[in-house]
Structure 1
């Protein structure tokens, strides 16, 4: 599981470089994100614009990452494709996460 990370207007933007977050990669995703989040502070935006499919294991991994965030850090999401957005809406996780249309709108937001 590969990520691209960069700072954008005071937020840390992490782009997932994969087309799926499913049972086959969920543990690897969570472990890599845990390493990446160890020193996080403030807003962290997970850009999922390349992810076309997410299953319950992938959703659970993202929720686990949110719970592992250091105190004072907040995980937000951006760039959900229609199929991924549908999963978040069906499970009502869209009420748990701040979701932005894309990384640019996330950086413009002061959530």
Structure 2
């Protein structure tokens, strides 16, 4: 799974460069995400704007990566497509994560 990571105003912006996070990609995604978030002190912004499908395995990988963060760091989600947003709302994960309409908005909010 291809992720790109960059500093973003005190946070770390991680962009998922794939259209699906499903059972076939979840382990690789989880490992890549954990590696990308292992260091750093600021919040993590996960840009999901290219992702059009997430299943329970993908959701579990995102939650698992959030849980391994240092307690003072938060994971924000940005750019959820309609189907991905629906998964987060149906599973009530929208109450666990701060969800932003896009990465730029998340960067502004995480820095403030």
Q: Give distance in 2, aligned partners of 1:83 and 1:71.
A: 29
TM-score of the aligned structures, taking structure 2 as reference length: 0.94
Contact 1:51 1:80 (C-alpha < 8 Å) held by counterparts: yes
Aligned residue pairs: how many? 111
Q: Runs of 5+ in structure 1 lacking a partner?
A: none
TM-score of the aligned structures, taking structure 1 as reference length: 0.95
Q: Give distance in 2, aligned partners of 1:90 and 1:108.
A: 27
Q: Give distance in 1, aligned partners of 2:36 and 2:64.
A: 14
- 1:57 matched to 2:57: yes
Q: Give distance in 2, aligned partners of 1:32 and 1:104.
A: 23
Contact 1:48 1:78 (C-alpha < 8 Å) held by counterparts: yes
**Superposition pairs for residues 1-111 of structure 1, below 5 Å?**
1-110=1-110
Cα distance per residue 1:10-50 (max 9 Å; x no partner): 21100000000000010111111111111132211000000
Q: Runs of 5+ in structure 2 lacking a partner?
A: none
CA RMSD of aligned residues (A): 1.1
Contact 1:40 1:69 (C-alpha < 8 Å) held by counterparts: no
Q: Give distance in 2, aligned partners of 1:35 and 1:17.
A: 16
Specify the SS of the correspondent of 1:73: coil
